[in-house]
Structure 1
Amino acid sequence: MPPSNPAERLRARAAAARPAGRFEPYARAPEHDGWDIPEEEHVLRTQVSVERPSRVISRNSSPDVPFDRSLNPYRGCEHGCIYCFARPSHGYLGLSAGLDFETRLIARPEAPRVLEAELRKPGYSVAPLAIGTNTDPYQPIERKMGVMRGVLEVLHAHGHPVSIVTRGAAILRDLDLLGAMAGQGLAQVGISVTTLDAGLAREMEPRAPSPPTRIRMIRELSRAGIPVRVMAAPMIPGLTDHELEAILTEARRAGAKAASMIPVRLPHEVAPLFADWMERHRPGLAEKVLGRIRDMRGGKLNDPRFGNRMKGEGEMAELLRQRFALSCKRLGFARSLPELDCTQFHLPPRKGDQLELF
């Protein structure tokens, strides 16, 4: 792992360096220039750039996910979770999956307008829109940018169903919209809870809400009538997997109706970043944890094969699945949340539209 810039002070960051992305022909590393003049130290701040996309609905045909379309209001994520499978997506921008992913964010403020244009295209066929499947739509900058709020307003006006995945507390700002949509069968939310250990969460997910806050999010969303699924994901063998039953129990008490569990997966640049984090924060556990991940991934730190990447294989993965199934049965979790209603989709009239006679 390349060393970090010694002049940068890292405050609440999980990664410690900017390893080159897999598409980059060159790597960079700080080098002493021979002058004994210390660089002025500074705290590494989050930078936000703006993208004006021509389209925002992404399509996929993966057999491992239950949706065929998604939307991401932001690229990069300030939550900075070290295990995040979305980190390699920053490589498409020529940026690092390490510190760049956490600190060089791209907002898409035009997303609501572009989304409305896409929904109005002739021949658009409605199906649930998944949001938060790559980077978190309710990361800290959403409080200022409000892109997700605008997206929800468009979906609500069109009667379009939406499924949201997040660990961001800013979602509670949108209880009014989400509650109204859920009352029509148009919205559901998945809340990711990786650990109940606040100290571990601070190190592993440095700018994400604390575990108690996420349990409170489940409670408040549920009280607002919004169907909530707790996502015990990722489960990291040897580090967080012993908390599986406790996470499910706390989420059920808070009102979650369904649950899911995914073993950790470390694609592309994420594997060395996670290994480096283990050596820095849990050196005594690094060999054990990485070994157990390899046991679940065919001897590697990642197995990208469809059908395997979301569940793993081997004794450790099978034991996790059995524990998860027994806990869900004991706690009374539903197999899944109710299906979203796709029959209410319509194009609301706009100013200047000709009204229909009948």
Structure 2
Amino acid sequence: MKDSNYRKGRGAQAYVPNKFSQFSHETRDDFLEFCRIEGEEAHQGSTNYIPIFPKTIVNKVTSPDVGMGYSLNPYQGCEHGCIYCYARNTHEFWGYGAGLDFEQRILVKKEAPTLLEENLKSKRWKAETIVLSGNTDCYQPAEKKFELTRECLKVFLKYKHPVGIITKNALVLRDMDILKELAHEGLIAVNISVTSLSEETRRVLEPRTTTIKKRLETIRLLSKNGIPVNAMLAPIIPGINSHEIINLAKAVSDNGALSFGYTIVRLNGAIGQIFTDWIHKALPHKADKVLAQIKSCHGGTLNDSRFGMRSKGEGNIAFHIHDMLRLARRTYFKDKELPKLNKGLHEQYKKGQLKLF
């Protein structure tokens, strides 16, 4: 049974202080009592969209174990509210908190398509796959309103440039027309995150995301239309979804995924505090066991910052997880392979059209 203070519909259960700020605030009991008497909400639950104006939009990824060279994020912060999200920490660089602020204060880069076009037209730029959502989901609810991801995809198509997408939202199907054109040229791969087959688990772990049924359908429809799909079975959280690995792999394979990736959860920075608070409210009967098992994968702590090891874990529980993943790959992905994207067309389309001479 959930704690009585559990906030339904949000991942993080509290506002947490920004480690870079000299100021912090706390919610005092006398303030809560005042709100109760006055019939007011102590905290506003609405989502705010805040425009920001970066000078560049394509980010070089320097971490050697992330699996991408460049990323593009039309939005910072994410309303999906996934409690484990490593991107929560980046919200502190913008002056906000990694808890509820991350889910309620969404920064919108309205110039993203224009900045992307400037980057792709640069004489210095050589085609390398740029991944949409290297930090936060490019198809989160804000995309319905602003359509920045769709406009960026149009730019990629115009300049015949390879692009990857990571999302857990079925809204990606809205852009099937552009995705099919990109796929025809070998310019697109879509990564769909599927963390559990249980709707009950999804609702507490990723409260504002697409249902599991809809995600599997998204994999199926993309694959049916010739768009290569990699499933992200990530993160694997011991005691929450680690028992589902084999069934998850089978489900995504049956729906057309050509490969899968994974990570073992690590709770770096402020996420350790946020996750610990969340699990004691959302899954109090599992809290101590899950936290202990996560620590056992990271040398006794909730986080491991070592490249290569931080997302794979070590120890007996991690070894068991790796063993199940190897079995799943051998069983359901033996003759499948995600194709490499085409980097050979872009140079001919530097100006948005085919060079004739």
Same-fold call, TM cutoff 0.5? yes
Deviation string, structure 1 residues 248-290 (Cα, Å, up to 9, x no partner): 1111111111011211111101111111111001111111100
Q: In the alignment, which residue of structure 2 is the partner of 1:30?
A: 27
Q: CA RMSD in A?
A: 2.1
**TM superposition shift of 1:67:** 2.1
Q: Percent identity, please.
A: 38
Deviation string, structure 1 residues 119-162 (Cα, Å, up to 9, x no partner): 11122111111111210000011011100001000001101001
For residues 7-86 of structure 1, what are the structure 2 equivalents within 5 Å?
10-31=7-28, 32=30, 38=38, 40-41=40-41, 44-86=45-87
Deviation string, structure 1 residues 291-316 (Cα, Å, up to 9, x no partner): 01000011100101111112111111
CA distance 1:202–1:333, change in 2 (3 Å): farther
**TM superposition shift of 1:22:** 2.0
Question: What is the one-letter code of the residue matched to 2:26?
Answer: A
Deviation string, structure 1 residues 227-254 (Cα, Å, up to 9, x no partner): 0011110010011100111111111111
Gaps of 5+ in 1: 1-5
CA distance 1:34–1:257, change in 2 (3 Å): closer
Q: For 1:59 and 1:278, how far apart are their aligned partners in 2?
A: 34
Q: For 1:141 and 1:286, how far apart are their aligned partners in 2?
A: 32
**TM superposition shift of 1:27:** 2.1
Contact 1:11-1:43 at 8 Å conserved across structures: no
Q: For 1:35 and 1:326, how far apart are their aligned partners in 2?
A: 55
Runs of 4+ in 1 over 4 A off after TM superposition: 33-37, 333-336, 355-358
SS in 2 for 1:175: helix
Aligned length: 348
Q: In the alignment, which residue of structure 1 is the partner of 2:183?
A: 182
Q: In the alignment, which residue of structure 1 is the partner of 2:254?
A: 253
Question: What is the one-letter code of the residue matched to 1:40?
Answer: E
Q: In the alignment, which residue of structure 2 is the partner of 1:223?
A: 224
Deviates more, 1:327-336 or 1:233-242: 327-336
Question: What is the one-letter code of the residue matched to 1:135?
Answer: T
Q: In the alignment, which residue of structure 2 is the partner of 1:206?
A: 207
Q: In the alignment, which residue of structure 2 is the partner of 1:128?
A: 129
Query: Which fold has the larger relative contact order, with Cα–Cα distance below 8 Å and residues 6 or more apart in sequence?
Result: 2
For residues 275-354 of structure 1, what are the structure 2 equivalents within 5 Å?
275-333=276-334, 336-345=337-346, 346-347=348-349, 349=351
**TM superposition shift of 1:319:** 1.3
Gaps of 5+ in 2: none
CA distance 1:35–1:72, change in 2 (3 Å): closer
Q: For 1:192 and 1:356, how far apart are their aligned partners in 2?
A: 38
Question: What is the one-letter code of the residue matched to 1:22?
Answer: K
Contact 2:57-2:115 at 8 Å conserved across structures: yes
Q: For 1:143 and 1:34, how far apart are their aligned partners in 2?
A: 35
Contact 1:21-1:88 at 8 Å conserved across structures: no
Question: What is the one-letter code of the residue matched to 1:79?
Answer: H
Contact 2:121-2:350 at 8 Å conserved across structures: no
Question: What is the one-letter code of the residue matched to 1:16?
Answer: Q
Q: In the alignment, which residue of structure 2 is the partner of 1:147?
A: 148
Contact 1:193-1:231 at 8 Å conserved across structures: yes
Q: For 2:236 and 2:78, how far apart are their aligned partners in 1?
A: 20
**TM superposition shift of 1:28:** 0.8
Contact 1:194-1:232 at 8 Å conserved across structures: yes
TM-score, normalising length from structure 2? 0.93
SS in 2 for 1:105: strand
TM-score, normalising length from structure 1? 0.92
SS in 1 for 2:286: helix
